[in-house]
Structure 1
Amino acid sequence: MTIQWWQILLITLYSGFAIYDGNNTTFGTVKPTMAGFVAGLIMGDVQTGLIVGGTLNLLVLGVGNFGGSSMPDYMTGALLGTAFAVLSGKGAEFGATLAVPIGLLMIQLDVLARFCNTFLQHHAEKLVSEGKLKSATHMNLYGIIPTSLSRMLPVFLALVFGSQFVQDVVNNLPMWLMNGLKTAGGILPALGIAILLRYLPLKKNFAFLLVGFFLAAFLKVPVIGAAMIGLAMALIAFGMDNQKSAQPAAADTDDEGDMEDE
């Protein structure tokens, strides 16, 4: 089977919109299952697309990228894995296997896109300090371009040149570049968490932070388990706050009743 130009165009455009949706509108198009379904629909084999996308979705259940962290981009992997599975006729297993290194490679490209956006953000901050708010807003919108291109370009090139092109890129990336991107990717999660903690009411809720750290670092509780414990603690705290706010109201009612008796 030979891929058509309109199929390349549609899958490329979808990759750009999906990563935008994942960071902004959150319609769910960035999920691997949805990406596999759309790619399968475009390629004429929805079943293969659903199998590839569903398989990759199992790899990211309960995983989220917070702050400045990057995670494997299995949306792009699902798009290309489905396309190559249909084109080669080797089935969904081949597509899912090929999609894993694609998703891992996209971590590095995601880091590069974030680096590009830092220049735009610094320029936006400069415009804000000069009172040019409208221009600063435009600079933030321009940040969509590097992020979308970081998906659209590899998808387009891979579909034009074939699966062997993807494998050659993975195998021939310079080690110094890979090590540098891995180092940056390791620093970004810590930086992202630090930024989040700065804007959270940490002093008031420091005990919850200690409990969460203890669960994750010492007891090795999975993310879902820690989240359930956090939810339980939040419900307890919420209930205690409601009781405290209800007590003054009850006291005021009693006072009013005593005054009426007099």
Structure 2
Amino acid sequence: MDLAIWQIVLLVLLAGLTILDSLTLIIGLNFPVITGAITGLIMGDLVLGLAIGATLQLMVLGVGTYGGASIPDFTTGAIVGTVFAVLSGQNAEFAIGLAVPVGLLMVQLDILARFTNTFFLHRVDANIDKGNTKAIKRNILFGAIPWALSRALPVFIMITFGKGAVDWILNYAPEWLMGGLKVAGGILPVVGIAILLRYLPTNKFIAYLIIGFVASAYLKVPMLGVALIGIALAIIYFKQNLNKNNLGLAGNAGIVGEENDDGEYED
């Protein structure tokens, strides 16, 4: 089975829209289960696409790109995996095995897209100083182009030239390039977390932060366990403040009840 031109066009457009939607969170195309189902419809096998997307969805539950972090893009992996599974007549297991390296490759391209966007960011800053609102809007829109191309172009290459293109990129890309991207990928999440902590009430909740760090770094508690500890601490904090507010209201009610005839409060 060969891909028709209209299928290639739709798949490339879908890949570009998924990353743009992940930035705006309007439609929900950034979820592998949805993208896999749409790809299945395009390829003529909705059930297989839905199965592949749902399986990949389980691998990214609770994972987000907060603070500049880059994660494996299994949404793009769902597109590529579903396409090759249908073309080759293979099952979902084959597609998952292909989607994982594709998702890992997208991490590096995600970082490149972020770097490219700094060009438009500097142009936006320059036009803010000039007060040129039209140029600001234009460069913000231009910033979507690197993001879309970071997914659309690889998908076009993969579905046009086959799985060998993916293997070639992973195996023969220059070490300095892949190494540099890995280093940048490790720095970005740290910088992002530092930025988030800068604007959060960290000093007020420093004890909770230390508990989470110790649980993750020293006790090796999985991320879900750390999240549950955080929920428990949040519930305790909420109840403590609720009790304080109730006591305060009760105290105010008692003071009001002791008001004398002259409008003054008695001890």
| Superposition TM-score, scaled by structure 1 size | 0.92
- Give the total of aligned pairs: 262
- Map 1:132-143 to 2 at 5 A: 132-143=132-143
Match of 1:210 in 2: 210
* 2:178 aligned partner, one-letter code: M
* 2:216 aligned partner, one-letter code: A
Correspondence 1:165 to 2:165:
yes
Match of 1:22 in 2: 22
Correspondence 1:54 to 2:54:
yes
Deviation at 1:209, TM superposition (A): 1.0
Structure 2: how far apart are the matches of 1:186 and 1:259?
64
- After the TM superposition, which segments of 4 or more aligned residues of structure 1 sit over 4 Å from their partners? none
- Map 1:26-41 to 2 at 5 A: 26-41=26-41
Deviation at 1:166, TM superposition (A): 2.4
Deviation at 1:148, TM superposition (A): 1.2
Match of 1:227 in 2: 227
Structure 1: how far apart are the matches of 2:230 and 2:27?
27
Structure 1: how far apart are the matches of 2:165 and 2:175?
18
* 1:244 aligned partner, one-letter code: K
Match of 1:98 in 2: 98
Given that 1:40 and 1:46 are in contact with CA atoms closer than 8 Å, whether structure 2 keeps it comes out as yes
Structure 2: how far apart are the matches of 1:91 and 1:244?
58
- Map 1:192-211 to 2 at 5 A: 192-211=192-211
Match of 1:44 in 2: 44
Match of 1:66 in 2: 66
Given that 1:62 and 1:223 are in contact with CA atoms closer than 8 Å, whether structure 2 keeps it comes out as no
Structure 1: how far apart are the matches of 2:76 and 2:130?
39
Given that 1:11 and 1:39 are in contact with CA atoms closer than 8 Å, whether structure 2 keeps it comes out as yes
The range that moved more, 60-69 or 73-82, is 60-69
Structure 2: how far apart are the matches of 1:39 and 1:260?
76
Given that 1:52 and 1:96 are in contact with CA atoms closer than 8 Å, whether structure 2 keeps it comes out as yes
Structure 1: how far apart are the matches of 2:145 and 2:206?
38
Given that 1:216 and 1:226 are in contact with CA atoms closer than 8 Å, whether structure 2 keeps it comes out as yes
Instruction: State the secondary structure of the residue aligned to 1:13.
Output: helix
Structure 1: how far apart are the matches of 2:214 and 2:138?
43
* 1:91 aligned partner, one-letter code: N
Match of 1:122 in 2: 122
* 2:81 aligned partner, one-letter code: G
Structure 1: how far apart are the matches of 2:92 and 2:246?
59
Deviation at 1:58, TM superposition (A): 2.8
Match of 1:176 in 2: 176
Deviation at 1:260, TM superposition (A): 6.0
Q: Which runs of 5+ in 2 are unaligned?
A: 263-267
Instruction: State the secondary structure of the residue aligned to 1:139.
Output: helix
Match of 1:131 in 2: 131
* 1:199 aligned partner, one-letter code: Y
Structure 1: how far apart are the matches of 2:99 and 2:152?
16
> What is the CA deviation profile of residues 42-90 of structure 1, one whole-angstrom value per residue up to 9, with x for unaligned ones?
1001122122222322322332222111111111111011101111223
The range that moved more, 248-257 or 203-212, is 248-257
Given that 1:127 and 1:135 are in contact with CA atoms closer than 8 Å, whether structure 2 keeps it comes out as yes
* 2:102 aligned partner, one-letter code: I
Structure 2: how far apart are the matches of 1:249 and 1:94?
63
* 2:156 aligned partner, one-letter code: F
The range that moved more, 55-64 or 182-191, is 55-64
